[in-house]
Chain A
Amino acid sequence: MRGYGLFYYISEAFHGLRANSLVNLLAVGTISMAMLIVGFFLLVFFNLQPIVNALGDRLEISVYLKDGLTEHEKDFLVSRLKAEPGVRKVVYLSKADALAVFKKELKGQEALIQGLGENPLPDSYEVSIERPYADADRLEALSKKFSGYPGVEDVSYGKRGAEVLSGLFKIITYGGTALAVLLGVSVVFIISNSVRLALYSRGQEIELMQWIGATKAFIQGPFLIEGMMLAMLGTALATGILAGVYYALPQEVVLFLSRPKGLDFLPPSVVAYMIIGCGFLGLVGGLVSVNKFLE
């Protein structure tokens, strides 16, 4: 069976884009607004992620030891702590070291500890946690487990910090997903409407093509590519605007975000995924309208 390839569909799609330029321009504009929101959100996400990760890396569980543990007991405890999934590093902090750290933290207010007499601080193990385990629930579970180990006096961790971190990540992940789904559906809807208008404006031609033996794919092809191109153009425009705003952003704003490295733009791979993903949504939008129309 002879037939036309992608080149024919693309050239017909361009013809369709030109024929309904005003409607298509509106569609591209609307899509670019939607994708601007997605792009902005992704920009925030990608810039916040290293900060959140760095905070996560700082989360530790302090395992305080009972007085008078033998070296053998301490070694046994260390091996148990290290064997626990999610534990990245275990550092021993003797009571003398702990006091030194404490003094350092209280610099200028050393008088507060002068009356303490004998060092009241216990020996401890500072347990660093791997990033995926650094959420409030997992830290809580690990702490409970560690406190049951023999020779452990008490366990503490930055509960508040872990909760804030987990909450932040949940907001970013779930909020971002919900927003992306919502805007994705909007893109499908916008494209579907735009392609529907194109279909109605070419209804006579489509009917005739059916009469003279055009297959469904032959009729569908240009409209699907048209939908895909509209969505991709809209996304490209949105990322273009975003990039323009990003590069025009005053340095003060970058510093305000307190990242020594400064604010990063979206990685090229993410921009590519955005354009391709939106193109796919455009394809779906086109398919919805064409199938409905041909029925």
Chain B
Amino acid sequence: MIQLYRVTKYYEGVPALRDVTFSVDKGEFVFVTGPSGAGKTTLLKILFCAEHADEGQIVIQGMNVFRLNPSSIPYLRRNMGFVFQDYKLLPHKTVFENIALALKVVGTPYGEIERRAYQVLKKVSMETKLHLTPPKLSGGEQQRVAVARALVNEPQVLLADEPTGNLDPQSGQEVFRLFRDINMKGTTVLVATHDWETVRKMQRRIITMEHGRVADEGRHQTMRAGETQRHNA
């Protein structure tokens, strides 16, 4: 589903990613963890074609990102949902309109928009608040709407960058529960987070990044006390 081979990215000569190599299979749930500045966000931005890698190879859903024509990027993104730390909801549009925009962008017929928006909002338990604007919702609710927007076009891959960074622990847990349910229905999920408590609880594959490199890759079982302290720092 996703393959990276020796991906390197520089910002003004300073490497943000160095020789990053890993692959994610279809239907996998992967956490990308590491301290701030480790390169998690850069990695996700590259996967989402918001940034270009300077070196290496990236293949997403069989498409070589390096050979991708700029006009093809929107079509790749339609198969990938993205959840942001700051939700990126349009504040002047209602919950329904925020979801509808994602459907309109891909050319969904008008008749289908209402039904599909309602269905996806029901999935994240926000169907009763579809006429409210984001500022009237709590952080957790806003993130659930953002997840709904990412899912409404039924993407094969869901990418999330610190999705619980602005949420209280309980709301964070709800969002991760949503990700788990989505993953169980077959969507590949890649989440960048430094919420070690959740990572530990969910028992999924973890890619640990440090200084732009993949420091460790594998299924998390237990964490040494020293590591916990370092990651929580």
Contacts and interface: CB of A to CB of B under 8 A. Distances in A.
Interface of A: 1-4, 8, 204-205, 208-216, 218
B90 interface: yes
B77 A212 contact: yes
Contact of B90 (A1, A205, A213): A205
Given A1-B107, A2-B107, A4-B107, A211 B77 contact: yes
A238 to B, nearest CB: 34
A2 B109 contact: yes
Interface string B85-108: 000101000000000011011111
B102 A212 contact: yes
Contacts of A214: 74, 105
B188 to A, nearest CB: 17
Contact of A213 (B50, B74, B88, B109): B74
B213 interface: no
B108 A212 contact: no
Nearest to B72: A215
B71 to A, nearest CB: 7
B77 A209 contact: no
A252 B77 CA distance: 69
Interface of B: 48, 50, 71, 74-75, 77-78, 82, 88, 90, 101-102, 104-109, 149, 153
B84 to A, nearest CB: 8
Most chain A beta-carbon contacts within 10 A, residue among B74, B77, B104: B74
Contact of A218 (B90, B102, B105): B105
B107 A209 contact: no
Nearest to A1: B107
Contacts, number: 46
A210 B76 CA distance: 11
A160 B101 CA distance: 70
B107 A213 contact: no
A6 to B, nearest CB: 14
Given A209-B101, A212-B101, A212-B102, A3 B74 contact: no
B74 A204 contact: no
Nearest to B77: A213
Given A213-B106, A214-B105, A218-B105, A208 B90 contact: yes
Contacts of B78: 212-213
B107 A3 contact: yes
Nearest to B149: A212
Nearest to A204: B90
A8 B105 CA distance: 11
A8 B104 CA distance: 10
Given A204-B90, A205-B90, A216-B71, A211 B48 contact: yes
A127 B75 CA distance: 73
A16 to B, nearest CB: 13
Given A211-B82, A216-B71, 10 more contacts: A1-B107, A208-B90, A209-B105, A211-B50, A212-B77, A212-B78, A212-B102, A213-B78, A213-B105, A216-B74
A9 to B, nearest CB: 11
A199 to B, nearest CB: 15
Contacts of B106: 2, 213
Contacts of A208: 88, 90, 101
Most chain A beta-carbon contacts within 10 A, residue among B75, B77, B88, B105: B105
B187 to A, nearest CB: 16
A208 B50 CA distance: 12
B74 A4 contact: no
Nearest to B104: A4
A215 B75 CA distance: 8
Contacts of B102: 212
Contacts of A1: 107
A197 B139 CA distance: 31
A205 B101 CA distance: 10
Contacts of B48: 211
A213 B48 CA distance: 10
B88 A211 contact: yes
B79 to A, nearest CB: 8
Most chain A beta-carbon contacts within 10 A, residue among B48, B88, B106, B153: B106
Contacts of A205: 90, 101
B135 to A, nearest CB: 14
Nearest to A210: B74
Contacts of A212: 77-78, 82, 101-102, 105, 149, 153
A170 to B, nearest CB: 48
A208 B48 CA distance: 13
Contacts of B149: 212
Contacts of A211: 48, 50, 77, 82, 88
